[in-house]
Structure 1
Amino acid sequence: MSQQQDILLVTRLKSNDIAAFDELYLKYFKLLCANAFLFLKNENEAKDLVQTLFLDIWEKKLYEHFHKDVKGYLFLAVKNRCLNFIKSQKVKGARAASFNRFYHEQSGEPEPGNDPADHQEQLRMLLSDMKGQKKAALNMVYFKEKKYSEAAREMGIGVNSLKTHLKSALKTLRLGMANKK
């Protein structure tokens, strides 16, 4: 029976009956808000999202896309809008974090919660765990400030091998520092 009523509402909507829109809104608004809340975990954002959906239904004539299952269409539209909203929030958060890192790098200020002493201690621990040629190459080039050719000669290896060991050592340090954050 409800599906039949929805089909009649859609027919009335297609003839620009504002009363049909009001009926549709009253019938589904709370239900759709509850569904949106399950995704967003925020009542105000859920209500705003559903409100925007209903505005689009009327202004952009989305009701033209309604067929037999109006309820299914509405729930799917809410789900898609929630997922898009969550995705956009993640992108905004990542951009803000990236900007904060860039800002603090440029200003020379440590990021809140990023104590330079902690970073140095993490770096020391990673260096002490490093073994063999990687550690030797890193030590000679970055700490003793030797040229690649000089460090390679002292280690008894070629310059390209030295570069490979350095690349591997730096990757190990980067991964170790990223995992400890």
Structure 2
Amino acid sequence: MRIRKLPIQLGQNAEKEIALRLKAGDERAFEDVFYRYYKHLYAIGIKFLKNPDLAEDAVQEIYLKLWDHRETLNESYAIKNFLSIAMKNHVLNVIRDQHQTIWEYLSSEVEERLGEDTTSDAFQLQEYGAILEQGIRELTPQRAKVFRLRVFNGMNNEEVASQLSVSINTVKVQFSQATKFLKDYLSKHADLEGILPIILFFLIS
């Protein structure tokens, strides 16, 4: 899609003004919002999905939801922040749907180790899971298979070696290299604060 620039004439309270217009069903206001924030939202989609088509679909979905629910929009809340959060949640859900085993694994393991309700940590957990999945995608095919079988399927070295028709030593080496890479990847790409990243590091060791 070709993105064009529109002459946007807004007052000092630009966000509130355009939100009020949008809430009232002003199609020009919606068009203003679309072209003003499209590139920002698309960048979020590419960052997480690594796929132009999926990122484009995600942006369209967010704008469709914005228009459908425009009457409930809180004009005191920055539209850019609202759209950014909605976009981030959407793309994380896309990744979760594509790789459900990761979310199930991380959720169950975190709940077991914390021994308490982790609802408040759900979004943070999704972020770490998405970043972990991105890191796994950057592994060589064999290392990715070894890591998934060891960590998410709970197989031991012997079982992985048998399934992949490789030696046990190969499995050990590939798993060691995979975990080292993923720990470095998480350190560089995730905001590692609190108990969740500590648990995540423990789980992939």
**TM score, norm. by length of structure 2:** 0.44
Bigger CA radius of gyration: 1
